[in-house]
Amino acid sequence: MEIYLDNSATTPLCKEARDAMLSAAEVSYGNPSAVHGKGIEAKTLLETARRQVASVVGASPREIRFSHSGTLANNTAIFGAAAANRRSGNRIVTTAVEHPSVARCMDALEQQGFEVIRLKPSDDGHFSVEDLFSAVNKNTILISAMLVNNETGAVNPVRQIADAVRQAGAPALIHVDAIQGFGKLPLKTDALKADLMTFSGHKVHAPKGVGALYIRKGVKIKNYIYGGGQEDNLFSGTEPVPAIAGFGAAAAALGNIDRSLERAERLRETMIENLSDVPGFRLNSPADALPYVINLSVTGIPSQVMINALSQKGIYVSAGSACKKGRRSEVLTAMGVPPAVIDSAIRVSLSRFTTEEDVLGFCAGVQEAAGKLRRKR
C-alpha cells in the first residue's frame, strides 16, 4: 500500500505528461532554436505547451515564459523587477512567510540597499489588508506575496494589492508566487491584477525541471541570466523541451478546477471527521484555507516521529512547520497555535488524484500511531 499525501512538495507524473515527454525526447528531440525541421518540431511543442499553460490562468500565450524551475522564475521576477524599477523608488513589500526562493532574494535585495518590508501573518494565517495598505507608499517599486501559504494552505488576499498600489500612487510591480495555487484555485490573471506570477510544473503532475513566469503584456523586467536569449532573453539556456511539453500536457489535463476543488473540500471534511476523536488532534489550517493543504497536529507526538511512523506504513506526509532548530513556524505562531502543537504539526497535501480510500487509510495510520507512540503509564 502506498498513500502519497505530500503533493505540495511534489507530485507524481500524470500519464498525459509522461506521453508528451517521451515523444518530445524521442521524436521531437531537436533544438527549438534550430531552423531545420527537427528544430521547428520542437519549437512547435514549446508553443503548444505555452498555450496550454496560458489557458489555465486565462493569459495570452505570449505572456508565459518557461523557466527551468519555480525557484528560477521567482528569482528572475524579483531581481528583474527590482532592477527594472530601481530608479522609481527604494521600497519593496513582501511577507514574512515566503518560500525561500522568494525570501532569500529579498534578503539579498535588502543587502543591496533596498528597504524591504515584510508583512507578518495575522491570526487568520494570511497578511492583513490593513498592514498591506500602510506598508505600500509611493516609493514602493515591488510587492511580492505568495498566493497560497505552503504550510497551512491559507490564501492571501492578493487581489487587494492592486488597490493598495493605486491608492498609494506607487510605481510598484506586483509579483504573486502562485506555485501552490496553480491548477488548484480558479486563477485568472486579470482578476488578480498581478504583473508577474510564478508557476511550477512538478506541483501539478508535470516533471521536475520546469517552471513558468507570467509577465503581463507591456511589463518589462531585466534579465539576470545571460546566454542564448531563449524565452524572451529571460531564461537563457536550451529549453528543456520534454519537461515543458510535460508541463503543457499536465496543464491541459487539469480538467475542471472548480469541481476538483469541491472534491478536495469533501476529502478534507472526511479527514477532519475521522480524526476528531484522536486524543490531541487539532486542525491548524484556517477554515477558509485551500482544502488541498491540511496542517494538523496530534499533540504530544513530534512531527518527525509521526512522519516516520506513517512512512513505515507507506503513508507519506511532511512536517507541518518549516522550522529551523529553535525557531518555530512563523505562520502557526502568529495564528496563536501553542508551541507544543506546532512541534507536532504535519502537513497533509492532496492532489486531484487523491481518493477517499487514501484519506481513510491515512486516518487509520494516524489513529494507530497515536495509540502506539504515546507513553503508556
Binding range to another protein, per CB under 8 A, among 232-240, 272-280, 292-300, 368-376? 368-376
Q: Using DSSP, state whether 54 is helix, strand or coil.
A: helix
Q: Give min distance, CB of 357 to another protein, in A.
A: 23
Instruction: Select the residue interacting with another protein from 311, 314, 355, 356 (CB under 8 A).
Output: 311
Q: Give min distance, CB of 340 to another protein, in A.
A: 14
Q: Give min distance, CB of 309 to another protein, in A.
A: 4
Cα(284)–Cα(325) distance, rounded to whole angstroms? 20
Q: Which is nearer to another protein, 45 or 306 (CB)?
A: 306
Question: What are phi and psi for residue 103, nearest 5 degrees?
Answer: -60, -40
Q: Which is nearer to another protein, 33 or 312 (CB)?
A: 312
Beta bridge partners of 117: 93
User: Where do runs of H (alpha helix) occur along the chain?
Assistant: 15-26, 37-56, 70-84, 100-111, 129-135, 159-168, 189-192, 241-252, 257-275, 303-312, 330-334, 339-342, 356-373
C-alpha cell at 57: 490562468
Q: Which is nearer to another protein, 36 or 377 (CB)?
A: 377
Instruction: Select the residue interacting with another protein from 33, 134, 256, 304 (CB under 8 A).
Output: 304
Binding range to another protein, per CB under 8 A, among 105-113, 212-220, 284-292, 299-307? 299-307
In the shown chain, the binding pattern of residues 259 to 298 toward another protein, with x for contact by CB under 8 A and - for none, equals: ----------------------------------------
Question: What are phi and psi for residue 122, nearest 5 degrees?
Answer: -95, -175
Cα(151)–Cα(319) distance, rounded to whole angstroms? 9
Q: Give min distance, CB of 312 to another protein, in A.
A: 6
Q: Which is nearer to another protein, 59 or 369 (CB)?
A: 369
C-alpha cell at 164: 493598495
C-alpha neighbours within 13 Å on the C-beta side of residue 304: 3
Q: Give min distance, CB of 320 to another protein, in A.
A: 16
Torsion angle (degrees, nearest 10) of CA 81, 204, 256, 52: 60
312 binding another protein? (CB under 8 A) = yes
Q: Which is nearer to another protein, 217 or 376 (CB)?
A: 376
Q: Residue 323 catalytic? A: yes
Is-contact 321 359, C-beta < 8 A? no
Q: Give min distance, CB of 317 to another protein, in A.
A: 13
Q: Using DSSP, state whether 370 is helix, strand or coil.
A: helix
377 binding another protein? (CB under 8 A) = yes
Among 14, 105, 323, 363, the active-site one is 323
Cα(239)–Cα(224) distance, rounded to whole angstroms? 17
Q: Give min distance, CB of 3 to another protein, in A.
A: 16
Q: How far is CA 346 from CA 286, 294, 308, 349, 352, in A?
A: 14, 8, 11, 10, 20
- Residue 144, judged by CB atoms within 10 A of its CB (0-12, 13-18, 19+), counts as buried
376 binding another protein? (CB under 8 A) = yes
9 binding another protein? (CB under 8 A) = no
Instruction: Select the residue interacting with another protein from 238, 276, 308, 355 (CB under 8 A).
Output: 308
256 binding another protein? (CB under 8 A) = no
87 binding another protein? (CB under 8 A) = no
Binding range to another protein, per CB under 8 A, among 138-146, 190-198, 348-356, 367-375? 367-375
Residues with a catalytic annotation lie at 323
Q: Which residues bind to another protein, rule: CB under 8 A?
A: 304-312, 325, 369, 373, 375-377
